[in-house]
Structure 1
Amino acid sequence: MRRQFGAKMTIRAYVSLRQKAIAEVLDLEGICIDHDSLRGSVFLDSSLNINQQIKSFFLLYKNGKLISMLSMFIPTKNEAEITAYTLPKFRGKGYFKSLLGKAVEELRAFDIPELLFVCESPSISGKRVIDALNADYDHTEYFMRFDRASYTRLNRYRLILLKAVQEDLEKAIAANMKVFDDSREESKSLIENCFLSDTREQYLAVLDDEIIGIASVNLEEEDVTIFGFGIVPEYRSKGYGKELLHLIVDDLLQRGRSDITIDVNNENANAIELYQKTGFHIEATYEYYRKKSG
C-alpha cells in the first residue's frame, strides 16, 4: 500500500518487514539515537500482534530514502503501542503526522480503540510531539539489562522449568489467564503466536505437577528478551518468582546467551527488586502516553 506525496514522497505500509526494510529502519534508528542521546530500540516483530492482518509498520520515503517510520505493537484488542523515528533534519515537516494518520486509519478498521505512545524519557523532540498530540501520561517502564558478573546461581530449586510445546497450549492459556487476568482470546492469541514463531519460546513453571508460573523469551536478535513473566496469584510472595527467573537465566547461559533484557513497570517495586538482585540493572526509561484512536 502506498500513498504519494508529489512525485518523490511515498508511504509504504506492511504487516511485517523484510530484511531490506529492517536494515533501513535500523539505520534510521541509529541516526536518531545518536542525535538524541537515547538508549532504546524499536520493536520490529509483529508476530505477537493479536491480529496478523493488521498493517503495523508505516515507512515514509523521500527520493527513495527512508526518512520517517512508525511501528505498532498490538498484543491485545484494546490498544496499540506506537514508536516512531524521523531523521533530525526532516522533523517539524508533518511527516510523523502523515504516518500517524495512516496508522489510525488501520486501527479504526480493526476496532483498536486506543493509542499508547512510547517515548524514551530523555527524548526532547519526542516530548514535544506528545504535547502536541495532547496525549495523557499513563505509566513508565524500565528497560533492564543482565550483568553476568552480578549473578549468583541458586543452590536448589523447587520448580521445574518446562519448555512448552503445542500439546501444552491449553495449559499455557490457562496459566496466562491466571497470571495476568487476560481474556481467553488474548491469552490464546499470545500463546499461539509464540508457538508459531521461530524465535520465541514459551516456558511453564511446574511445582508438584501443577503449573504455577509462565514466561516467554525472544531469541531473534543478539539480545534475548524475557517477557510475559509471572506467577499465579496464590503462589506469589513465596520465592517462586525468584526461582523461575533464575531457571530461565541458567538455561539461557547454558546456551551461550548472556545478553538478556527484561521490561518492568516502574511502580512494580517487588519485580524491580527481584530483577536487580538477579543481576539486572536499569538501562533505559520509557514513558507511555495514552490517546483515543477515534
Structure 2
Amino acid sequence: MIIKKYRSLNETTMSEVLDLEKDCNDYDELRGSVFLDTSLNFNQMIQSIFLLYEGRMLISMLSMFIPSHQEVEISAMTRPEYRKRGYFKALLFQAVEELCLHNISDILFVCERPSDSGKQVLNRLQAVFEHSEYYMSLNRGGKADIENQRLVLSKSTLRDLETIIQLSCKIFDDNDEDARSLIENCLNSESRDQYLAILGDKPMGMVSVNHLSDEEASIFGLGILPEYRSFGYGKELLGLILKDLWRLGKQQITLEVDSENDRAFALYQRMGFRIEVAYDYYRKQVSDFC
C-alpha cells in the first residue's frame, strides 16, 4: 500500500481518479462527482488530495475542499472489491494529520444520498448529520427574461477586492480572512469570473461563475445584501448572469443550494433548475480523531 499526497492533480493522476470514480459510481448507482479543484482552498500549500495505490492501481482516494480556516469538506471513494480493508481509514488518518498542522477544527463529510456504503462508514465514525445540498442544472433555453431591469452586472477585477469582501461578509456572514482568501483565489483564477450587481451607483449583490468547459458553467456565491431582499433583485441578478452565460454559448448551467435555504431553492426551481444529485453533509470534529 502506497499513499501519495497532492496539492493538485496533473493530467495522468486526474485520469486515474476519474476512472476510479466511474468504477464506484457504476457499482453504487451514483451520479455525483468528487470535487477535485483545489484552487479555492484558502491555503494553496495544504496537501488536499490523497491517493492510495496497490502496485500501480489506484484503489482509494480522499479529497478535501478547504474554503475556510475552520472547516473542510471531505469526499472519498474506494473500489468496491477493496472495501472494508481499512483503506479509507488510512487515507483519513493522513488527512487528519494535515488538518492538525493547519489548526482546522471541523470536518464535513460529503455523502451522495443513495450511497449506503458511505452512510455505513459515517455511522461507524459517529459523524452527525447536519444538512443536505442539491446539485441542480439548467439547460440552454431556460428562463432568463428580465422585466424592468434595475441592476447592472459588472465584471470584477482585483481593484474591486475590498468592495467584494465587504459584501461577502454582510451577505454570507463570512469573516474577513476567509472571504479575502476565497475572493482573491476567484479573481486570480483563469477559469472563474466574479461579478458585482450594481443598483444606481451602489454595489448591493454579487455572483461568481466557474467556466467548467466551453459549454458548461457553474454559478456560486450568488447573494444580495439583506436590506435589498424580497424585492426581486435575486431573481433579476440570476436572470442577468444566465443571459450573459447563454450569450457566451454555454449549453448547461449548474449550481448547488442548501436544502434548508427555502428562498434560494424556490427561486432556482422557478427559473427552471432541476435537481440532479442530493448530497448529505455529516459533521465531525478533527479533535475526535487525535
Q: Tell me the distance in 2 between the aligned counterparts of 1:258 and 1:157.
A: 24
Question: Which one of 243, 257, 281 corresponds to residue 264 of structure 1?
Answer: 257
Structure 1 stretches of at least 4 aligned residues deviating more than 6 Å after TM superposition: none
Identity of aligned residues (%): 53
Q: Tell me the distance in 2 between the aligned counterparts of 1:59 and 1:206.
A: 44
Task: Mark the CA change 1:98 to 1:41 in structure 2 (over 3 Å): closer, same or farther.
Answer: same
Q: Which amino acid aligns with 2:286?
A: S
Q: Tell me the distance in 1 between the aligned counterparts of 2:279 and 2:162.
A: 33
TM-score w.r.t. length of structure 1: 0.95
- Residues 143, 239 of structure 2: 8 Å contact kept: no
Please list, as runs of the form range in 1=range in 2, the aligned pairs for 1:28-39 lying within 5 A after superposition: 28-39=20-31
| Aligned residue in 2 for 1:282 | 275
Q: Tell me the distance in 2 between the aligned counterparts of 1:93 and 1:133.
A: 15
Aligned CA-pair RMSD: 1.1
Helix, strand or coil at the partner of 1:153: coil
- Residues 132, 280 of structure 2: 8 Å contact kept: yes
Q: Which amino acid aligns with 2:155?
A: K
- Residues 144, 240 of structure 2: 8 Å contact kept: no
Comparing 221-230 with 170-179, which one deviates more in the overlay?
A: 221-230
- How big is the shift at 1:152? 4.7
Helix, strand or coil at the partner of 1:75: coil
Q: Tell me the distance in 2 between the aligned counterparts of 1:172 and 1:19.
A: 33
- Residues 4, 52 of structure 2: 8 Å contact kept: yes
| Aligned residue in 1 for 2:135 | 143
| Aligned residue in 1 for 2:284 | 291
Question: Which one of 38, 41, 44 corresponds to residue 36 of structure 2?
Answer: 44
Question: Which one of 179, 186, 189 corresponds to residue 171 of structure 2?
Answer: 179
| Aligned residue in 2 for 1:15 | 7
| Aligned residue in 1 for 2:58 | 66
Q: Does 1:232 align with 2:222?
A: no
Please list, as runs of the form range in 1=range in 2, the aligned pairs for 1:103-252 lying within 5 A after superposition: 103-221=95-213, 223-252=216-245
Comparing 221-230 with 81-90, which one deviates more in the overlay?
A: 221-230
Helix, strand or coil at the partner of 1:97: helix
- Residues 116, 289 of structure 1: 8 Å contact kept: yes
Q: Tell me the distance in 2 between the aligned counterparts of 1:26 and 1:209.
A: 46
- Residues 46, 98 of structure 2: 8 Å contact kept: yes
Helix, strand or coil at the partner of 1:155: coil
- Residues 164, 202 of structure 1: 8 Å contact kept: yes
Unmatched segments (≥5 aa) in structure 1: 1-8
Unmatched segments (≥5 aa) in structure 2: none
Q: Tell me the distance in 1 between the aligned counterparts of 2:144 and 2:221.
A: 23
- How big is the shift at 1:149? 4.4
Q: Which amino acid aligns with 2:233?
A: Y
Please list, as runs of the form range in 1=range in 2, the aligned pairs for 1:61-100 lying within 5 A after superposition: 61-100=53-92
- Residues 138, 253 of structure 2: 8 Å contact kept: yes
Helix, strand or coil at the partner of 2:267: helix
- How big is the shift at 1:147? 3.2
- Residues 142, 284 of structure 1: 8 Å contact kept: yes
Q: Tell me the distance in 2 between the aligned counterparts of 1:156 and 1:217.
A: 24
- How big is the shift at 1:223? 3.3
- Residues 133, 258 of structure 2: 8 Å contact kept: yes
- Residues 148, 279 of structure 1: 8 Å contact kept: no
Q: Tell me the distance in 2 between the aligned counterparts of 1:77 and 1:114.
A: 9
- How big is the shift at 1:150? 4.3
Q: Tell me the distance in 1 between the aligned counterparts of 2:91 and 2:179.
A: 30
Q: Which amino acid aligns with 1:244?
A: L
- Residues 147, 281 of structure 1: 8 Å contact kept: no
Q: Tell me the distance in 1 between the aligned counterparts of 2:98 and 2:189.
A: 24
TM-score w.r.t. length of structure 2: 0.96
Task: Mark the CA change 1:261 to 1:75 in structure 2 (over 3 Å): closer, same or farther.
Answer: same
